[in-house]
Structure 1
Amino acid sequence: MTDFDAWTSRTLENVLAISPAQVTGPINLDELDSILIEILTELGTPEKLPLSYLNNCYERCSTLKQRVNKDPAKLSAIDKIIANVTNYGLICFQVPGFFFDHTSLDQTLDYVLEFINRGFLRKILSNAIENDSSLEVLNSIVPNLMNKLLAVDMINTPSPEISRYYFSVMDLLETILAYPALAAIFSEIDNFHPPDLKSNEFETRSLLGPLFRYSPLLPELAYKNYEAYISPGYVDNMTSIKGIHEGSQLETKLIIDRLFSLTNKLVRGGEKPRAAFFRWAADLVNKSHLRVGQQVNPKLVASNSIMFNITMILIKFSLPFLANETKLPKIDIDYFNKRQIVDFTEETKINSTLQESADYYQVSDEVPNFISDCFYLTLTYLHYGLGGIYNWENRLKQQLSGLRMEIVRMEAQQSNPSGLNPFLEGILRFKLPKLKKTYKILQSERYSIQMVNSYRDLQSETFDTLSGAIKFFIRVIDPSHEYPSKELKLPFVELAVEDLDDPNVLRQKSPVPFRYYPEFFIEGLINYFYAVTKHGIYPLVYSNRNLTTWVQFLIIILRCPELMSNPHLKSRMVELLFYGTLKNTQGGPGFMDDIINSDPLVSNNIMYALIDFFVVVEKTGSSNQFYDKFNTRYHIGTILENLWGNNVFRKQLKRQSTQNVKFFVRFVARMLNDTTYLLDESLNKLISVHNYEAELGIRKGEQPNGERDPALSELSDEEIEQRLQSSESQARSLVGLSNKVIQLFNLFTKELPSSFVIPELVHRLAGMLDYNLVALVGPKCSNLKVRNPQAYDFDPKRLLFNLCSIYVNLSKEEKFIDAVAQDERSFDITYFRKARRILEKHVYQATASFRQQFIAFGDSAMEKRSQQQQEELEMGDAPDEFLDPLMYTIMEDPVILPSSKVSIDRSTIKSHLLSDPTDPFNRMPLKLEDVIDNVELKQRIQEFKGKNKTRTEP
């Protein structure tokens, strides 16, 4: 035997771990195959798992190879041993039952994850590629690993163990996908995308589901993280919860980064795996539309965790081309003419009907580019992924509020057992712990959502990506499609004032193809921006250079009504501007203030945009449209009030009032409508609160001499309490809104007094002011006294001062004096004098000069009334046909309404049409240009006036 043969025999014995008792003589390389078979099938391996034995053989070879690296013959021998060991390692995955049964398959997979040398695994994978058995190996490993991952007990398994196992699976997949040949066939693995999956089945039945669902957002993990720090009905341990947030945020980032790395390798594996991944993600989101519904059952749709993870991965894919303005043209604006992967057919369009959109798009077999697929899929996940999370958080908030009240009530009952019968006591003992656990589960979910929403680093990346999406949409809107390389000039189309309320005209003016895009593209962006603002991530938006793009987009949509038809979405945009102009917690400017004041596109258009939408929001299309408008108008009012400190915006408003009179009058008319309704309703609700409080006070003996309302005598204490709570809630809202509108009137009438005394407005304005002055200082003003006026922001003295300020602002306008004098329903100089006394005693802002102007105006109106009464006596009784059918005054300029044929004064119908574009006598559509001059009636009225004037002259 040669020295080499001896070395070979010893090496085989050492590498294969053959004991002396098993060797009858020298062994050589020709026997290697039969020896391995015998050990693996008959003799048994020293280690429990065959794969563990083979791996140890490989490691011993690797160590030995380093020692003999200068001996070619020995190196060749070791390589042959490695090749045989690796081949049998490959067989372990190709035919697992050959060496072990399925009982030990789990152990083998665990060994692969935790202990197997990556070099041995890479060698096995390389052999699989060379032997054309890659798919067999992958099918043996990957689906089984995913099933094991899915089966992990998230509640009872320690979190570090879950995390370690999860990231071990990630490591193994990274090793697999590092081979281009394996990445290219990865989508062919069993159950990569089974057909006919339901939304909630993707996580359990598709190959990637168990991997992509893992997140601190999972309810089981959220409960494990936060449960100990939640106290149902009391105060949670926010210090500890903040610490959990920070730890979960780091884990979330690690998960997203690793998932992106894996997905990036997969989509770069070739057209086939890339298309397969996008089809899988698209199919999931196509079947998850119910996530943004109002009554969705979370168990029947995809979870927040998988939707969040995929959304973040898509955002990472989109960032490189969305953050680079030069790459925006690569996004196909006519994507919907191609064979797209997301189903948009039944989605509401931005400003077209479904049929119009279907008629426009003629879908071809052309396949969109990767960038376009990625962009539009990202927007879809933004809406149904993140949007579904926001929707679920809002529902959790409502559910938790109800649960908290129920738990507190039951604990109060339990703390006083003497008043409980045994049956009820037993129910409490059984039900209360269950309610508390349910509360903790839901609150844990809510905290996990707040954790990701408040994660600044993650949101910063998302904000930058979506800012690029905003730029893309502005580019589509731009008639030249050259933005951002070319500045925009608004408006894009010129619209007559009467067309601003006409949806058909606006739809035809809307740009193509923007009008045919799904509305949720914009809704998802706006909801995201709203969530960032709502969660107080102000450092993000304060310092981010992309904030200007967002503000510009808000103004473009609001300034150009032809772009979008949905008033609810525009209201959300106004709300964003509202939050952006509110002073911060230190009293400093809002985070949008600098942009609003300095960016030309924004500052030149914001005033017009807000005033126009103030009017348009009158009609939201919902059954609650009358009430929907008030919150939006409150937000607009607050923004306008904040802008008022800048003289540029005051000049803009003045310019609109003189150069665009019809537009401005339309705005003031709606303000006047609101003020009339809100003041009346708010004061009535305060009277109701006063009456309910008085009745309860009398019944409890607190006000034994109080005046009772007979209508309340039949109601029980509980019914009165319920009505009181309802009236308090309504009063709180109505008073805040009416305060805002009155403040606006005060600001505007001071700046633009002549604009408020045109014939269409002045009588209504005078009547509104007079009526509310009586309510504040008249004989029933004591009914407005409530126990806690601050709770409703009700300050009658401040309200009286603002109301009187409007009189003073308009006191030099002769037409306003005439209008107040003609108000026979409410004007009474007595109330002006009483108001002056209240101002003098209780309102320090009301200076002596102010009080003098106010009462002088009242005296002027009283003197004018005397003159008017004298003229009426001299005029005598006018025929009914000369009287305006709505105002009952002699008409100055009668016109005939085309459909009802009624004659009415031109100023009266103009005033009516500012609020309602219909004939007041038959509700048929009506425009001012359609009315017909009643020349004959006007002449007869003039003759009548002339005769009476002649008869009374001396």
Structure 2
Amino acid sequence: MAPLQRTAPPRNGQVLSAKVQGLNTQILPNCFQAALSSKTAVRRNTDRQGVLWAPFTGLLSPQIRRRRLARLAGGSSSQPSTPLTSPQRETPPGPPGAAPAPGPSHSLGLNVHSMTPATSPIGASGVAHRSQSSEGVSSLSSSPSNSLETQSQSLSRSQSMDIDSVSCEKSMSQVDVDSGIENMEVDENDRREKRSLTDKEPLSGSEVSEEQALQLVCKIFRVSWKDRDRDVIFLNSLSAQFKQNPKEVFSDFKDLIGQILMEVLMMSTQARDENPFASLTATSQPIAAAARSPDRSLMLNMGSNPGSSPMFCNVGSFGSSSLSSVGGSGSSSVSDSCSDHFTIENCKETEMLNYLIECFDRVGIEERKAPKMCSQPTVSQLLSNIRSQCISHAALVLQGSLTQPRSLQQQSLLVPYMLCRNLPFGFIQELVRTTYQDEEVFKQIFIPILQGLAVASKECSLDSDNFKYPLMALCELCEIKFGKTHPMCSLVVSLPLWLPKSLSPGAGRELQRLSYLGAFFSLSVFAEDDNKVVEKYFSGPAITLENTRVVSQSLQHYLELARQELFKILHSILMNGDTREAALSYMAAVVNANMKKAQMQTDDRLVSTDGFMLNFLWVLQQLSTKIKLETVDPMYIFHPRCRIELPTDETRVKATMEEVAAWIAELYRDPSLFSEPKFPTECFFLTLHAHHLSILPSCRRYIRRLRAIRELNRTVEDLKNNESQWKDSPLATRHREMLKRCKTQLKKLVRCKACADAGLLDENFLRRCLNFYGMVIQLMLRILDPAYPNIKLPLTPEVPKVFASLPEFYVEDVAEFLFFIVQYAPQVLYEPCTQDIVMFLVVMLCNQNYIRNPYLVAKLVEVMFMTNPAVQPRTQKFFEMIENHPLSTKLLVPSLMKFYTDVEHTGATSEFYDKFTIRYHISTIFKSLWQNIAHHGTFMEEFNSGKQFVRYINMLINDTTFLLDESLESLKRIHEVQEEMKNKEQWDLLPRDQQQARQSQLAQDERVSRSYLALATETVDMFHILTKQVQKPFLRPELGPRLAAMLNFNLQQLCGPKCRDLKVENPEKYGFEPKKLLDQLTDIYLQLDCARFAKAIADDQRSYSKELFEEVISKMRKAGIKSTIAIEKFKLLAEKVEEIVAKNARAEIDYSDAPDEFRDPLMDTLMTDPVRLPSGTIMDRSIILRHLLNSSTDPFNRQTLTENMLEPVPELKEQIQAWMRDKQNDH
């Protein structure tokens, strides 16, 4: 065999052009000049040392042109005078360990005299070749051609992907075929300078003969120049040349390969209606499936037979059936999964491309069939040349150089092959390697491919596995690497739609819809993003829990596959030095364009979808996995080159907007304070903000949907339960329509929730989020105390400016996410980062002064409340980690007690109602901490310390008074309406609007009573626990009388004359347990039983009466609420109180005529211990102290006021006492 010799490339900038069938071919760049047109070629002078380029000498004579035209047309009368030639290309690396290609002295010679047409390897009937070809195709169809395991070995013998040092001229195929049409005239003697086969050196010590090598070429290309047969393509031109002068047919095998390929391709271009590949029916399989005749588009079915090569979609012949319409002759048919297909044009280019791809694939088949023979340098070089020539000619076809130029807007012919995964392994890689150094050609070939993949991705959905094919194709393109260069990554970011400019207020949705990667990131399982998923998986008549679980797992697996490919794509772009900046700009653009997504009320039309943002978040999480916090700069968010555009009004953790602006201005005066932003820092903060804009809004939407489902369920149940009342009324039709509408909406919401379960409640995904928030917490703890993890509490009084200036949502998002997973996925809570999360909660709750917003502290309290075993049993271990943390045992209880009182005033308009929920959470936490020995001592210390605990008790009294009063009043209203509705005759007499008003009020009262009774029960429980352990603080002058009055009033509600008004249907529905409430209230009386408390009870003239206590004793005995001993103790207390009442009556003196200067200005009562306020006002000490328990302000000017600021007025006190003595003496 002739050695693979290198041909000198044409000079830089040289351009060749020609005409074929009257069509001007496009101008090709240097690397394809030789392969250009089947129409233009350069004559080459050859000698024994190599093949050299020769200058153009002129046009061919008319006689030569006519003969070549006739030859290409398949005419047999003309005698070709010039064979088709092909310039050489550099040989790709051989197999590992292979010997270098032998020099000319060891070339594989071909003796033309011994290979006349009669003795050609094709033979008379082509039987021998068919046999071998059949074997090759059989091998191809039984082993996947794109399998890495089966092909990587064979491909490595002929090509290497990581080659970046080879220039375009060295690495590109240079196919030079002389068609004789308008070619440059050359010296006729050049033909005689071609090496005759007899001049070639015979094979020396090789096991591959010349005949075998030629037979191998014919077998791979499925051609013959001897006989016509349906299994091969008959080459008229070569046949005529062999008949005329076999010695001058070709100079070497590269020349022969070029002539074969160009003649075959020209046969396709010149054929009008018939398919020149139709003869390949016996042993070949089609690369493409059946075509649709109406629009002449070829269908490529993605669902290939597992037993066949993935290169083939449907069974059928390569030549005819693969390019014929459905229903035509042949065995091709569209499979049952015909909906899963992609289309390609049915055109000449498709025929040529099919042929080239199969030839490329047959090289790999031969390498697998005969690895020993193919590993020989000469054979390996031959096969490598076949591959490279197939790639070069494929590039010409893809550009339309052999037919007509293709527009960049046209779909690439390769896209369906890539989507169907039926390209031979290495085909695309070799195509990239061959073209990427010529920018014009590279763009002309691969921009349509990229556009086609994006279009295909937009049409895909998770309702089938079609979605993965565009992703896998793009991923493979982006991962192609030569040295440190990723050519496709550079091309992707150069596209105009890589990062389009925003043209409307909806920048987020624009970026998703218009950017190149937007289509790939848009895969979603959420019903609002893609209704195909809900229609396919959750539209059955009954959605069982088990079915939903199985489907959710499948969808989560699909999403995981898609996201892995997305990560590979973006990672490849980031790893490529030339495109890293573009990738970071895109990541920042997604974050900045979706800032509005974090708002409570968002117009979804202006921002990216939840599915898009969660996919984007998953990719960023993967990029951040290996980031070390030591490499993250906490000052980045304030950096002048920060990519994240924070709104100017963004709330900060502690600092005000003015303080932040002043501090940043001070920082900017010294640029040395900022270091150059590095990738770990930028990636970390982009990921943090991506969480804020993706997972948190999705969680809020999920919770809102659950709330809507509960409300609809309640409405449906109410309509059903009350059907007997409205079915015969004039509004019956309206109610039925409403019931039907609610059921339809409820069904829709349940399906949407099922989709959201699959997209949001993915345990693996939630764990990634939790672990990342663990990193965020570590960063904030390092800012708070550089000694982390050896933090000591309390922290320094001065808040670090970096922490104070951080966006508030850095802390809030941690709380919200923890709250969500504790409720809906508590099993993911236990990760290595859990210790840091516990420490962060403890540190923040014990240093509330580090947070300006009280509602943010309330969220942290709510997280702790939700982890309480009494609320969520599955988080008991987490709660125990909090209560047993070394930092919590001394400071957690006092801090929570202080917050219990501080939350009285939050500054919000809803502060009065908000405080009840917050205090309910704290009370529940206290009940659990009280059971922990480590905290029991802290409680006792706080009980005995004084003022902080006194304020806490005062708030308990206030809340219990209000909550019990409101809940019992609502029960009375419920009782009233229920009694009215029981009397059907009178109820029907009421006007319809009045009935509706009463029913509406009933629903409102039921909601209020449920809520308030739950809160009231908790506060009474807390009273019950505290009064059992400590009594002294409850007996203070400012507290004792108020506590006694509150207890007396509620006893009167439960046991007084109007107690029957509290009797309602299904009291457990509202959480009303009158027996338990009475038991707890009387227990508090007994636990505080002493002379001082008895006097406080007797002094209450509003609710106390002897008859009330007697009725209480009677009900306790009748209901068996207490033991006999406890009842007797309560009876003794009642007797003591009655004695004090009688004594007070005998000693009662009227002080109503006291002078004004002796009266308290606030309560208008006689002062007993007057004190002067800083404002100069004089008040009674007990009254001002009671006020200070609620608010630390002067009641007259709202200035700050504390107990130590009160100044006694002994002179006035003495005057008051003297006046009182005079009154007593007069009495």
Normalized against structure 2, the TM-score is what?
0.68
In terms of Rg, which structure is larger? 2
1:492 is matched with: 795
Cα drift, residue 145 of structure 1: 1.0
The corresponding residue for 1:658 is: 944
**Where does residue 1215 of structure 2 map in the other structure?**
940
Q: Distance in 1 between matches of 2:619 and 2:482?
A: 17
C-alpha spacing 1:205/1:409, structure 2 compared with 1 (3 Å): farther
Deviates more, 1:463-472 or 1:553-562: 463-472
1:613 aligns with 2:899: yes
Question: Which structure 2 residues correspond to residues 36-185 of structure 1 after superposition, within 5 A?
Answer: 36-37=261-262, 39-40=264-265, 42-43=269-270, 46=277, 48-64=350-366, 68-69=373-374, 72-92=377-397, 98=404, 105=411, 107-114=413-420, 115-131=422-438, 134=442, 137-152=445-460, 154=461, 159-164=464-469, 166-175=471-480, 180-182=485-487, 185=490
SS of alignment partner, residue 904 of structure 1: strand
Once the 2 structures are TM-superposed, how far is the Cα of residue 468 of structure 1 from its aligned partner? 2.3
Partner of 1:324: none
Verify the 8 A CA contact 2:418 2:473 in the aligned structure 1: no
> Aligned residue for 1:787?
1065
CA contact (8 A) 1:229 1:240 kept: no
Q: Which residue pairs with 2:977 in the alignment?
A: 692
Q: Quote the Cα distance in structure 2 between the aligned partners of 1:369 and 1:282.
A: 14
Question: What is the match of residue 333 of structure 2?
Answer: none
More deviation, 587-596/292-301:
587-596
Q: Partners in 1 of 2:1158 and 2:728 — Cα distance?
A: 75
Post-superposition Cα deviations, 1:165-212, rounded to whole Å, max 9, x if no partner, equal: 554544444457997332662423342111226111222211111111
Contact 1:51 1:92 in 2 (8 A): yes
Aligned to 1:829: 1106
Q: Is the 8 A contact 2:637 2:644 kept in 1?
A: no
Deviations 1:484-515 (A, max 9, x none): 2xx22222146xxxxxxxxxxxxxx4332111
Farther-moved stretch of structure 1 (629-638 vs 37-46)? 37-46
- Mapped partners of 1:414, 1:760: distance in 2: 55
Q: Over residues 534-577 of structure 1, what are the superposed CA-to-partner deviations in whole Å (9 max), with x where a residue is unaligned?
A: 11x33332x43432322222222121111212233322222221
Residue 699 of structure 1: CA displacement? 3.9
1:540 to 828, 833, 838: 828
User: What is aligned with 1:373?
Assistant: 682
Tell me the residue number matched to 1:286: 592
- SS of the aligned residue for 2:1149 comes to helix
Q: What is the Cα deviation at residue 245 of structure 1?
A: 1.2
Paired residues for 1:577-596 under 5 Å: 577-583=864-870, 590-596=876-882
Aligned-pair CA distance for 1:636: 1.4
* Rounded Cα–Cα distance in structure 1 between residues aligned with 2:376 and 2:846: 82
Q: Are the counterparts in 2 of residues 769 and 803 from structure 1 also a CA contact under 8 Å?
A: yes
Aligned to 1:895, the other structure's residue is in SS state: strand
Secondary structure in structure 2 of the residue aligned to 1:768: helix
What RMSD in Å do the two structures reach over aligned CA positions?
3.8
Residue matched to 1:895:
1171
Q: How many Å apart are 1:386 and its aligned residue? A: 0.4
Any conservation in 2 of the 1:253–1:458 contact (CA below 8 Å)? no
Count of aligned pairs: 907
Letter in 1 for 2:384: D
1:191 aligns with 2:497: yes
The answer to whether residue 246 in structure 2 is matched with residue 20 in structure 1 is: no
Q: Structure 2 matches for 1:337-348, cutoff 5 A?
A: 337-338=638-639, 339-346=641-648, 347-348=650-651
Instruction: Give the letter for the 2:1099 counterpart.
Output: Q
Tell me the alpha carbon deviations over residues 863-898 of structure 1, each in whole angstroms, 9 at most, x when there is no partner: 333444444439895434323344454323212344
CA distance in 2 between partners of 1:410 and 1:714 (Å): 16
CA drift at 1:794: 0.8
- Does 143-152 or 633-642 show the bigger shift? 143-152
In the superposition, relative to structure 1, how do residues 439 and 847 fare at CA in structure 2: closer, same or farther (>3 Å)? closer
In 1, distance between residues paired with 2:511 and 2:710? 32
Aligned partners of 1:409, 1:766: CA distance in 2, in Å?
42
Aligned partner of 2:954 in structure 1 is 669
**Bigger Cα displacement from structure 2, 294-303 vs 518-527:** 294-303
8 Å CA contact 1:453–1:531 kept in 2: the answer is: no
Give the Cα separation in 1 of the matches to 2:643 and 2:1050.
Answer: 60
Q: Give yes or no for the alignment of 1:310 onto 2:616.
A: yes
Between 1:62-71 and 1:907-916, the stretch displaced more is 62-71
**C-alpha separation between the residues in 1 aligned to 2:1216 and 2:992?**
56
Comparing 877-886 and 191-200, the one that deviates more: 877-886
Alignment of 1:548-947 (within 5 A): 548-583=835-870, 590-659=876-945, 661-700=946-985, 716-812=994-1090, 814-844=1091-1121, 846-873=1122-1149, 878-899=1154-1175, 901-921=1176-1196, 923=1198, 926-947=1201-1222
- Alpha-carbon deviation of 1:741? 0.3
Query: 2:844 & 2:569 partners in 1: Cα distance?
Result: 39
Does the Cα contact within 8 Å between 1:50 and 1:99 map onto a contact in 2? no
Structure 1 residues without counterparts, runs of 5 or longer: 322-326, 495-508
Aligned-pair CA distance for 1:912: 0.6
| Separation of aligned partners in 1, 2:707 and 2:1210 | 63
Matched with 2:514 is: 205
Alpha carbons 2:777, 2:840 under 8 Å: kept = yes
In the alignment, is the contact (CA less than 8 A) between 1:874 and 1:949 conserved in 2?
no
Rounded Cα–Cα distance in structure 1 between residues aligned with 2:622 and 2:1031 = 55
Q: Which moved more, 1:103-112 or 1:330-339?
A: 103-112
| 2-structure distance, mates of 1:876, 1:113 | 97
Q: Give the AA of the match of 1:788.
A: N
1:212, 1:309 within 8 Å by CA — same for their partners in 2? yes
**Take 1:236 and 1:85, find their aligned partners in 2: how far apart are those partners?**
54
Q: Distance in 2 between the 1:417 and 1:94 partners?
A: 75
Cα distance in structure 1, aligned partners of 2:409 and 2:716: 48
How much has 1:759 moved relative to structure 2? 2.5
SS in 2 for 1:242: helix
| Pairwise CA distance, 1:118 | 2.7
1:426-456, Cα deviation, whole Å (9 max, x unpaired): x999x99998776655443322222233322
Cα deviation for residue 10 of structure 1 reads 5.5
Contact kept, 8 Å, 2:865 with 2:871, in 1: the verdict is: no
CA drift at 1:523? 1.8
SS in 2 for 1:544: coil
Q: For residue 351 of structure 1, what is the aligned residue in structure 2?
A: 654
Structure 1 413/650 Cα, relative in aligned 2: closer, same or farther at 3 Å?
closer
State which drifts further: 780-789 or 816-825.
816-825
Preserved CA contact (<8 Å) 1:919 1:926 = yes
Structure 1 residues 650, 9: closer, same or farther in 2, change over 3 A?
A: closer
Q: Report the AA paired with residue 1102 of structure 2.
A: R
After superposing the two structures, state which structure 1 stretch, 794-803 or 171-180, moved more: 171-180
Q: Offset of 1:308 from its aligned partner?
A: 0.6
Following the alignment from structure 1 to structure 2, what is the Cα–Cα distance between the partners of residues 195 and 874? 84
Task: Tell me how far 1:229 sits from its aligned partner.
Answer: 4.4
Q: Specify whether residues 545 and 787 from structure 1 end up closer, same or farther in structure 2 by C-alpha distance, changes over 3 A only.
A: same
- Would the alpha carbon gap of residues 135 and 74 (structure 1) be closer, same or farther in structure 2, given more than 3 Å must change? same
Contact 2:1048-2:1097 at 8 Å conserved across structures: yes
The AA in structure 1 aligned to 2:1033 is S
> What is the CA–CA distance in structure 2 between the aligned matches of 1:826 and 1:596, rounded to whole Å?
44
Q: For residue 949 of structure 1, report the CA deviation from its aligned partner.
A: 6.0
Would the aligned equivalents of 1:893 and 1:905 in 2 still touch at CA under 8 Å? yes
Q: For residues 418 and 870 of structure 1, what CA distance do their matches in structure 2 show?
A: 67
1:384 maps to which of 668, 683, 693: 693
